[in-house]
Chain A
Amino acid sequence: MSSVPASAFLALALILFCIGLYGALTKKNTVIVLISIELMLNAANINLVTFSKYGLNPNIDGQVFALFAMAVAAAEAAVGLAILMALYRNKRTVNIDEMDSMKN
């Protein structure tokens, strides 16, 4: 029996997700944007683990999913940073606003 309700965990995950989202969409430094995305993934993981314990059908599967998500997040971070390095070599900047070659 737990004294902390499941909704408290979910609310914490929500707050962290919102922080990550806001950071991902406002920060100018591409590295920070990537970190913010990691934060959002973490918030999602909290949800997975919370439901694994307090869901309608408590199960270990939620934790396994969280593990897979972490593996994918790690891979994503590695590739994202590699792309960042390649971009930086070409453009000499990590300011995300200057990476607007999508326009033309």
Chain B
Amino acid sequence: MTLTGEFFAFMALALVAIIGGVLLLNLNKVVHMVVALIFTFVSIAGIYVLLSAEFIAAVQVLIYSGAITIIMLFAIMLTKPYDDESSESKGGRLRNVLLFLGVVGFAFAVYIGIYNFPIDQTPSDLHVNNTLEIGKALYSRFIIPFELVSVLLLAALVGAIILAKREDKEADKE
């Protein structure tokens, strides 16, 4: 491993992403958590660039850092924020410790898998005309899934509207 610019970029992005995640877990105010997560999402976009996926990186920034974060913020603002994370019952604390151990164990187990995974780093030319290639793939081999995704998005749109809509009865009541 040589100290190249790529390496430094990866280290910096990874650090920001992890710090964003840790802040998500440790901050008290909900809005702060979401903001911390924006850093993570943007860093992940950077990681995608390092992985020769410029188009994915752009989409990541648009959808996650943009759209989803904004919806989340709206949701937070529309509901009464529940900030009191400290009022945990005793069983809850035990549960968290247990879960933490479980997560660490899981990470350890998967890391062993990663460590032993044989990856020969063959050079690839994915960075060349990346967006063009994705477009070609989407509109040739993946045309049917692509159309299905559009139907899924439409269904989600309609479903979300119906779910979130105030029912008439309720409206009358209030």
Chain A residues in the interface with B (C-beta under 8 A):
1-12, 14-16, 18-23, 25-29, 31-32, 34-36, 38-39, 42, 45-46, 49-50, 52-56, 58, 60-61, 63-64, 66-68, 70-79, 81-86, 88-89, 92-95, 97
Contact = CB atoms under 8 A, between A and B. Distances in A.
Interface of B: 1-4, 6-7, 10, 14, 17-18, 21-22, 24-25, 30, 33-34, 37, 40-41, 44, 47-48, 50-53, 55-56, 59-60, 63-64, 67-68, 71-72, 75-76, 78-85, 92, 96, 99-100, 103-104, 106-107, 110-111, 114-115, 117, 119-124, 126, 130, 133-134, 137-138, 141-142, 145, 149, 152-153, 155-157, 159-164, 166, 170
User: What 9 A-B pairs have minimum CB-CB distances, sorted nearest first?
Assistant: A75-B156, A19-B21, A82-B163, A82-B160, A58-B124, A82-B164, A3-B4, A78-B160, A85-B164
Contacts of B163: 79, 82-83, 85-86
Given A28-B82, A49-B51, A79 B156 contact: yes
A32 B30 contact: yes
Given A14-B110, A32-B33, A52 B126 contact: yes
A4 B7 contact: yes
Interface residues of A, dominant DSSP: helix
Nearest to B36: A35
Contacts of B145: 68
Contacts of B82: 28-29, 93-95
A94 B126 contact: no
A89 B72 contact: no
A56 B140 CA distance: 23
B40 A22 contact: no
Interface residues of B, dominant DSSP: helix
Nearest to A36: B24
Nearest to A20: B21
Contact of B85 (A27, A49, A70): A27
